[in-house]
Amino acid sequence: MPTRVTLNETKKQAWFADLANPDVPLSKLGKSVPHERKDHGLLDMLQQNNVAVPRAVWFLRVSGANETVCSSHFCRNLLVESDLIL
């Protein structure tokens, strides 16, 4: 699973420009995938950078998988903490 990173605006623009570039392999981009607390801007970034649909779908799938993994870890930690409190 790619590492989630929080990027400043300049680095995020560069990452999405690389995503739009078919010469940049997804394996390189998959080493770190940007995320935000609110993903509203990420879809706009895909459109603004003219990211091809297959690469945009790859990004959305990776982002969704990361969210699922992170939220399941969070839920497990809550369950462990609540078991310790009882």
Average pLDDT over residues 71-83: 46
How many domains, in total, are found in the chain?
1
> In 64-76, which positions are buried (b, 16+ CB within 10 angstroms) versus exposed (e)?
eebeeeeeeeeee
- Checking if the pLDDT of 6 tops 50, the result is yes
Structural domain boundaries, residue 77: 3-85
- Checking if the pLDDT of 48 tops 50, the result is yes
Contacts of 84 by beta carbon, 8 Å cutoff, 6+ apart: none
pLDDT of residue 1: 57
- Checking if the pLDDT of 69 tops 80, the result is no
Confidence of residue 7 (pLDDT cuts 50, 70, 90): confident
**For 25-37, how does the pLDDT look when each residue is reduced to its tens digit (9 = 90+)?**
999 998 888 876 5
Lookup: tokens for 76: 């497990």
pLDDT of residue 74: 52
